[in-house]
């Protein structure tokens, strides 16, 4: 079971912060959703929560938060 510091698909802002830190050379504007999903799943502390699957809307929110965090 994931601890309280674990990130999941709905941790959009925390995921964006982690992506900026982990991938400073990646341009979130041009990243594909499959690539974004794999980058998120590879982040330390990321755990999928039952009942909260990933979908296009969540990936869009993460991508936009990443863009905003980077700028």
Quick: pLDDT tens for 1-39.
Answer: 445 579 999 999 999 999 999 999 999 999 999 999 999
List residues bridging with 46 in a β-sheet: 7
Contacts of 26 (CB under 8 A, 6+ apart): 19, 39
The pLDDT, as a whole number, for residue 44 is 95
**The two structure tokens encoding residue 4:** 């309280």
Asked if CATH classification 3.40.50.12780 holds for the domain at 12-70, the reply, yes or no, is no
**What are residue 26's phi and psi, to 5 degrees?**
-90, 135
Are the CB atoms for 40 and 11 separated by under 8 Å?
no
43 C-beta neighbours (distance < 10 Å), count: 17
The model's pTM: 0.90
């Amino acid at each position: 079971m994931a601890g309280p510091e674990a990130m999941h698909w709905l941790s959009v802002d925390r995921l964006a912060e982690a992506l900026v830190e982990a991938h400073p050379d990646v341009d979130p504007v041009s990243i594909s959703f499959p690539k974004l999903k794999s980058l998120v799943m590879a982040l330390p502390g990321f755990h999928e929560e039952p009942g909260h699957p990933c979908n296009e809307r969540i990936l869009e929110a993460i991508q936009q938060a990443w863009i905003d965090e980077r700028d």
